[in-house]
Structure 1
Amino acid sequence: MEDQKRIGRIAVVGSNMVDLITYITRMPAPGETLEAPDFEIGCGGKGANQAVAAAKLGSQVSMVTKVGSDLFGDNTIANFQQFGIDTTHVAKVEGKSSGVAPIFVEESGENSILIVKGANADLLPADVDAAEETLRQADLILMQLEVPLETVRHTVRRAAEWGVPTILNPAPATPELNVGDLRSLSFLVPNESELALLSGMPTDSEDEINAAARSLIAQGIGTVIVTLGGRGARLITADQVTPIEPVRVTPVDTTGAGDAFIGSFAHFFAASGNTEEALKQAARYAAQSVGKRGTQKSYASAEEFVSFCEGLAPSAS
């Protein structure tokens, strides 16, 4: 574990969802009804997941988001507060449902997810401006694409004015995202398919991934971190490519692993300022999360993460 010199301040401008998780043996065919062995409800959403991961590790986290005027909304706010996340800028939208995410998890641990944005669609640039005092004080601002694109674009622009570094996880991917709107972005964290969509270039080989990432860097994005699932990740700058090796574990449920990776990266980077070391720690943190069911409840506390790392074989650490 690296020497954490300070407690980072992280702000998340993004989504929250209620995860409706069904554990299945296989997906039913059209018109077919199958019995599933288990079901759980949990708090999720990419923004909320990333916020919780950073908070559980010890960062000071503030959330800028919208919830519905329903029981799910009240529960989401209480969940943030349980983890010490500042909810000053979590607002209810009257007459709107909260966001929900039906998730289907197969026996292999792989998952399929639908999302209904609900109140997340009402998170607007004016909400970012209203949270300016909080956002200006952050060490990092995290964003995803489960809220309106105009809000993401506005956040990137305002953060550049304030001199606050930014991270965007461009998921779920959309062709409507214009790379030109991300010129001042500090970190872009796509997977291979998202990188291909954003760059308009193939990403089928290592050289193609590098070229696609560098095409985005040439347009003004600072650093690209490509997540590769079981193959780890790749840190790409204008003049260097650094592989981040995967940590081998037996997966139980991969739901939320990408969010665990990004949220923990934000925590470790804000604490140390060392990108490569923060990514190595994030790979361990994400690996730990797939060994348990669920999303946020699978994320380790700082103490649990230390124990997990101590138990890794030397070759994996």
Structure 2
Amino acid sequence: MHEYDLLVVGSANADLVVHVDQRPAAGETVLGSDLAIHPGGKGANQAAAAARLGARTTLLARVGNDAYGRMLSQAQRAAGADTTGLLEGEDAPTGVALITVDAAGDNSIVVSSGANARLTPEDVTEARRLFEAATVVSLQLEIPRETVEAAAHTAAASGARVVLNPSPPAPLPGSVLAVCDPLVVNEHEARRLLEDPADGRVDGRVDDRATGRPEEWAEALLERGPRSVVVTLGAEGALVATPGSAAVRVPSPSVTAVDTTGAGDAFTGALGWRLGRGDGLVDAVRYAVRVGSFAVTRAGAQESYPGAEEFEKFSGNCEKGAT
């Protein structure tokens, strides 16, 4: 039996959040709410989401020796995650995300990487025990690309299942895509990956399916090598695609969105955990869609994630159509 259901390798940020009626256009100044500071970062978010639901989770990430770093470490422990892999250094401050959230709950985010940019392939090598102890390894792209590649290969060599969310979107080598099971993308990320010709194709043409339907995005992405693809579709749920099978749509429960910040991370963290427990991909996505739906009903990222008991109640209401 593995020690961890899920190892998350990725970023840890302090989220600096301001709510506005409308996000500013270029050159425009708008007034917003008081500044709120929350624990965030795609890696830390995924680890916290899974741990709150009951997963045996650990996070490999870097933070600075500062107040934000201490906040992030405390938040992981409070969520129930193991912090063995949370590395502290003095050569860079903790990463920061500057977030504006509008009246509709949609957000815009600018990330200053800070210590996240110092997570290296050597850190991955030194943490090999964590990879060997994990059933699933979850990755994103808010850390250096070479570190993501090292983590993907180390996970595969250790026999762990690799879940990768290419966010922010960027081309990935075929050797990394080949171990993704699944590659998790939202609509924006799917289009960006298909529009970017820098993936080794000889002709360098943009894939025409980038402007098509989600089923077409998934088909085109599967052709690039991942073992499976999941496309998240916001309020419409998600789509699951595997080679040789028809894509499956998984609907989302109807909820009133308050803040979408971190909802995709809640989805991916929950997905990784359920795969680590042995769920099939469609069942794991069905569970993760509900976790993501719960997350948008509350403000913030990690603060919006449910514990096991409150999620069970929410999920029961979904079954009754009461959300």
Structures share fold, TM-score greater than 0.5:
yes
Equivalent of 1:63 in 44, 59, 62: 59
**Cα distance in 1 for residues equivalent to 2:168 and 2:279:** 28
Alpha-carbon distance change, 315 to 27 in structure 1, aligned in 2, over 3 angstroms: closer
- How big is the shift at 1:103? 0.6
After superposing on structure 2, the runs of 4+ consecutive aligned residues of structure 1 that deviate more than 6 Å are: none
- How big is the shift at 1:37? 2.9
Residue pair 2:131, 2:154 contacting (<8 A) in 1 also: no
Q: What letter corresponds to residue 188 of structure 2 in structure 1?
A: S
2:256 corresponds to 1:250: yes
2:311 corresponds to 1:311: no
2:279 corresponds to 1:273: yes
Equivalent of 2:102 in 90, 93, 106: 106
- How big is the shift at 1:88? 1.5
Q: What letter corresponds to residue 120 of structure 1 in structure 2?
A: N
2:35 corresponds to 1:39: yes
Equivalent residues, number: 309
2:160 corresponds to 1:164: yes
Q: What letter corresponds to residue 12 of structure 2 in structure 1?
A: N
Equivalent of 1:235 in 231, 235, 240: 240
User: What percent identity do the matched residue pairs reach?
Assistant: 37
2:147 corresponds to 1:151: yes
1:131 aligns with: 127
Equivalent of 1:178 in 169, 173, 182: 173
1:92 aligns with: 88
Residue pair 2:76, 2:82 contacting (<8 A) in 1 also: yes
Alpha-carbon distance change, 129 to 246 in structure 1, aligned in 2, over 3 angstroms: same
Q: What is the RMSD of the two structures over their aligned residues, measured on CA atoms?
A: 2.0
Residue pair 1:199, 1:213 contacting (<8 A) in 2 also: no
Counterparts of 1:3-82 in structure 2, within 5 Å, are 9-30=5-26, 32-82=28-78
2:203 aligns with: none
TM-score, normalisation: structure 1: 0.91
SS in 2 for 1:95: coil
Alpha-carbon distance change, 18 to 219 in structure 1, aligned in 2, over 3 angstroms: same
**Cα distance in 1 for residues equivalent to 2:189 and 2:27:** 32
Residue pair 1:7, 1:270 contacting (<8 A) in 2 also: no
- How big is the shift at 1:53? 0.5
SS in 1 for 2:256: coil
SS in 2 for 1:25: coil
2:212 corresponds to 1:217: no
The runs of 5 or more residues in structure 2 that have no matched partner are 196-206
2:198 aligns with: none
Q: What letter corresponds to residue 166 of structure 1 in structure 2?
A: V
SS in 2 for 1:159: helix
Residue pair 1:247, 1:316 contacting (<8 A) in 2 also: no
Alpha-carbon distance change, 97 to 7 in structure 1, aligned in 2, over 3 angstroms: closer
2:114 aligns with: 118
TM-score, normalisation: structure 2: 0.90
Residue pair 1:8, 1:271 contacting (<8 A) in 2 also: no
